[in-house]
Structure 1
Amino acid sequence: MTFLKTLSAVMFVALLSYTLVTGATYGWNLFEIFFTDMLAMTWPGQFNFDFTGFLILSGLWVLWRHEFSVVGWVLAPVAFVGGILFLSAYLFYLTSRRVTTMPELLLGEARTAALMKGAAAAH
């Protein structure tokens, strides 16, 4: 978990720095550029379209991990729009608090507990 926590922190700082420099230089009209590239059917548009799929899956995973609770519904759109800025901060938070295993990180506490309970009952 130490590697994941460190990687998350580095990614957050690196992308935040890059974003601030880019926004200050070119303005904050990301969505216009993002969707214009997709509509142009260019390689940057293809990358944006592909990346949108990752953003959708990220949001859905956060929603599912929170068992479709209110917290999940609040965090999912933030994950979709925030990309790695959100995900790196979220993973850093989880690995800094109480999450100590990959199943717990990926599945959430309740699903991991149920999985362990089922595994213990099978033995």
Structure 2
Amino acid sequence: MTLFRLLLLTIIAVVGVYTVIVVSNHGLGLLPIFFGDIAKMEWPGQFNMDFFSFLTLGATWVMWRHHFSLAGIALGFCVFAGGAPYLCTYLLVASFQANGDAKEILLGKKRAAA
């Protein structure tokens, strides 16, 4: 669990620093570029579509883990806005709340107890 937590912290730090540099150099105009690349049907768009699919999968899992409650849906939508740093932070917090129990991290407290 320690290595997993270190991986999560590394992803948060690396993507966070990278994002700060990109925003400082290019501003916050991500969405037109992101979806524009998808519309062009070229390799950058393929990568964006693949990433968007991962965001969808991650958001759906977070919502499911919280039984599609209002809070779970809100947390799931945060995956779209926050990407990997948000999901890694979510998993890091969940890992401590579950005392490192992988079953509870993946399924949530209720499903893991069943």
TM-score (norm 1): 0.88
Q: Hey, what does 2:60 align to over in structure 1?
A: 60
- Partner amino acid, structure 1, of 2:97: R
Distance 1:80 1:28 in 2: 15
Distance 1:21 1:29 in 2: 14
Check the 8 A contact 2:98/2:104 in 1, yes or no.
no
Please report how far the alpha carbon of residue 98 of structure 1 lies from its aligned counterpart in structure 2 after TM superposition.
3.1
Q: Hey, what does 1:95 align to over in structure 2?
A: 95
Distance 1:89 1:39 in 2: 31
Unpaired runs of at least 5, structure 2? none
CA RMSD of aligned residues (A): 1.0
Check the 8 A contact 2:65/2:108 in 1, yes or no.
yes
Please report how far the alpha carbon of residue 107 of structure 1 lies from its aligned counterpart in structure 2 after TM superposition.
0.3
Check the 8 A contact 1:5/1:96 in 2, yes or no.
no
- Partner amino acid, structure 2, of 1:59: A
**Quick check: 1:8 aligned with 2:1?**
no
Please report how far the alpha carbon of residue 26 of structure 1 lies from its aligned counterpart in structure 2 after TM superposition.
1.0
Q: Hey, what does 1:25 align to over in structure 2?
A: 25
Check the 8 A contact 1:55/1:81 in 2, yes or no.
no
- Partner amino acid, structure 1, of 2:38: M
**Higher RCO, 1 vs 2 (CA within 8 Å, ≥6 residues apart):** 1
SS in 1 for 2:41: coil
User: How many residue pairs were aligned?
Assistant: 114
TM-score (norm 2): 0.95
Unpaired runs of at least 5, structure 1? 115-123
Q: Rg bigger for which structure?
A: 1
Identity of aligned residues (%): 39
- Partner amino acid, structure 1, of 2:14: A
SS in 1 for 2:112: helix
